[in-house]
Amino acid sequence: MERKILVVMLDGFDPAYLEASDMPNTKRLAAEGFAKTVRGVMPSVTNVNNTGICCGVSPAEHGITGNSYFDLETREERYMDQASMVLTPTLFQRAAPHGFTSALLTAKRKTQSLLCAGADIRLAAEAPETAVGADIDWVDRLGPAPHIYSADINHWLFRAVRVVLNETPARLVYFHTTDYPMHMEPPSGELSRFHLSRWDELLGELLDEHPDLEVYLSADHGMNFKSRCYDLNTVLPARGADIFFAMSAERDPYLRHHRNFGGTAFLWLREPGDLERVADACRSLPGVAGVHDRLRAAEEFLLHPDRIGDLVVTGDIDTVFGPVDDPAGEEELPAEFRTHGGVAEAIAPLIIYNRPVDAATGREIEYNFHLTRPIGF
């Protein structure tokens, strides 16, 4: 029997959501297959971890170190969302020599441009008109895709997954959702419970159709409430520590998710001799959990040293970084504000079903980017 493989990157799926949600099918996969809680990589943002899962390696190898990067030549922030920036083969490229036709199905347009290398079929629910590789009019087939800022878009995309597995040659499908519902609500929230309950129902229907389907499921990061945000471009000069530039690693096009506020910031210095003064100023801010120079951060967080700042600053569970309007450079966040990017969110569930995982391999699976190791290519 030919193998069929579904890799699920359930965006923002903190282990707390699995524990609190009505997800009997997902929990059955965990009980009958292999399951553990693993570490995500830092910064705990989507592009970094999504690329790691799709490529099976850390950001030190694949090179994606944030949702954005700072172009020192043009002095501009740019999105880190192009396949040309990925330094290692994707799962799709590795699968091709083994005779697998592959599909990349994602809620977010940015994933389609970032992880497209080797994928024969590509669909971003945010922009179904840009789909390639399948002779299917997705809007005609499934109806208009819901808005990217909704829970329903993940359900629409799951229906597309079923179409691909049932009606195309693809035997390897990578399925990436949006974490908008997790940004909006904790695990106990009504929207969250609806989102995951319906998602789980669709999983059960898919497994009824494909009982031998191999399922590999993990997440890019967790999610937490946050209470303060620092704009380091403002607060550091006010403390006598002028810098060239600071950027939130969270920065991407989806502002309603997080306003570009995240728990990790990259800082570029004006002069190398400024390092200790700037680092001390960062450490003096309440809520700053860690300040690392470039090489220490690369070693600690498995990052590519050429694609991060001179300093990497991380916040505690309450603290994020990003551009704020307050001239003082600090904002008290509303009680319902939820986001990620820090060490506290570098956590994910990991489930493998219908593929044996021996004890030795299970012990070696420590990070979310280890998810696809048992596939065998």
Percent of the chain whose predicted confidence (pLDDT) is above 90 = 95
Distance, CA of 10 to CA of 195 (rounded, Å): 12
Number of Cβ within 10 Å of residue 373's Cβ equals 14
What distances in angstroms separate CA 112 from CA 38, 51, 177, 290, one per listed residue?
A: 25, 11, 12, 33
Kindly tell me the sign of the dihedral angle through the C-alpha atoms of 113, 253, 345, 348.
negative
Nearest to residue 154, comparing CAs of 185, 204, 118, 194?
194
What tokens were used for 204?
């059960």
pLDDT value for 75: 87
**pLDDT tens-digit profile of 146-178?**
999 999 999 999 999 999 999 999 999 999 999
Distance, CA of 50 to CA of 40 (rounded, Å): 10
Nearest to residue 39, comparing CAs of 343, 262, 372?
343
pLDDT at 1 over 80: no
112 CB-near residues (< 8 Å, 6+ apart): 104, 106, 122, 123, 124, 127, 130
Helices in 44-114 by DSSP H: which ranges? 46-55, 59-62, 91-95, 109-114
Average pLDDT of 78-86? 96
pLDDT value for 252: 87
Instruction: Please report which confidence band the pLDDT of residue 72 belongs to, taking 50, 70 and 90 as the band edges.
Output: confident
**pLDDT tens-digit profile of 226-243?**
999 999 999 999 999 999
220 CB-near residues (< 8 Å, 6+ apart): 9, 11, 12, 40, 44, 45, 46, 48, 49, 50, 53, 179, 348, 368
175 CB-near residues (< 8 Å, 6+ apart): 6, 7, 8, 9, 105, 106, 157, 158, 161
**pLDDT tens-digit profile of 20-51?**
999 999 999 999 999 999 999 999 999 999 99
Q: Give the DSSP H/E element, type plus range, for residue 350.
A: strand 347-353
**pLDDT tens-digit profile of 181-218?**
999 999 999 999 999 999 999 999 999 999 999 999 99
Residues in the chain: 377
What distances in angstroms separate CA 34 from CA 29, 134, 313, 375, one per listed residue?
A: 8, 33, 35, 13
What tokens were used for 27?
């929990």
175 near 159, Cβ under 8 Å? no
The crossing angle, in degrees rounded to 10, of helices 190-209 and 152-167 is 10
Distance, CA of 377 to CA of 368 (rounded, Å): 17
Angle at 150 between CA 144 and CA 154, to 5 degrees: 70
**pLDDT tens-digit profile of 88-104?**
999 999 999 999 999 99
pLDDT value for 31: 98
Distance, CA of 54 to CA of 370 (rounded, Å): 10
Domain 225-339, CATH:
3.30.1360.110
- Residue 72 has φ and ψ, to the nearest 5°, of -70, -25
324 near 229, Cβ under 8 Å? yes
Distance, CA of 183 to CA of 121 (rounded, Å): 29
pLDDT value for 73: 85
Distance, CA of 369 to CA of 218 (rounded, Å): 9
294 CB-near residues (< 8 Å, 6+ apart): 305, 308, 309, 310, 311, 312
Place of tokens 């992880």: 115
Q: What is the 3-state secondary structure (H, E, C) of 150-187?
A: CCHHHHHHHHHHHHHHHHCCCCEEEEECCCHHHHHCCC
**pLDDT tens-digit profile of 282-329?**
999 999 999 999 999 999 999 999 999 999 999 999 999 999 999 999
Q: What residue ranges do the domains of the chain occupy? A: 5-222+346-375, 225-339
pLDDT value for 37: 98
Lowest mean pLDDT among 31-45, 107-121, 132-146, 249-263: 249-263
SS3 344: helix
Mean residue pLDDT across the chain: 96
- The superfamily in CATH containing domain 5-222+346-375 is Alkaline Phosphatase, subunit A (3.40.720.10)
